[in-house]
Structure 1
Amino acid sequence: MDWLVSCHLGGVVIGICTFLIIGLFHPVVVKAEYHWGTRCWWVFLVLGLMGMAGSIIIQNLLVSSLLGVFSFSSFWTIKELFEQRQRVLKGWFPMNPKRKHDYETNQ
């Protein structure tokens, strides 16, 4: 980790990892809504709280920063789950045929 500081690459590594973390959450939102609907929002709340706690506890700036990005990406995912449901209702994304009743009763 010292070579990251000595080469001034910490910011670049945080930027790349942030890009990857946010990019990872998009398909997670789509798959989570498809399989479980919006009722799995609490999983992302717990992940976000755990990430935030880890970010506060860990002293390493790189790891702490990445846990913060993960944490707030998890919180953002809660919002995106509910928006994804609306996108499914508009027909922009596929509806899970096994959960068709969830979409019909709660519009």
Structure 2
Amino acid sequence: MDANKKENPLYEQFDRVYDLMKKYDAVLSLGNGIRAGAIHDSHDRAQMAEMIINCELAELGREKGCQMMVEGLGHVPLDEIEGNIMLEKRMSGNAPYYVSIFLMKF
């Protein structure tokens, strides 16, 4: 994207993505690409900007009749989880929300 001076093609053509999701009655999962490396950098500027964009895309998709869900931020301190969920639910118009987790089996 830097070399071509263009935005992500999926982002530029998101209306087409919405059309496909609606046509095939599919659910679009808006995931994260800018996850914090550790709890000490949770809610940094890049991560919050991505959350805002994902929530905006979820709202637009729902307005177009698409089924949308939003992935929550990762590597968040325990005392920030509830506030983070409330913020993202409010920003996304109460879109279904999920958090990717690593499950360990002992």
Q: TM over 0.5, yes or no? A: no
Higher strand share: 2
TM-score of the two chains, using structure 2 as the length reference: 0.36
Greater RCO (Cα-Cα under 8 Å, separation 6 or more): 1
Higher gyration radius (CA) = 1
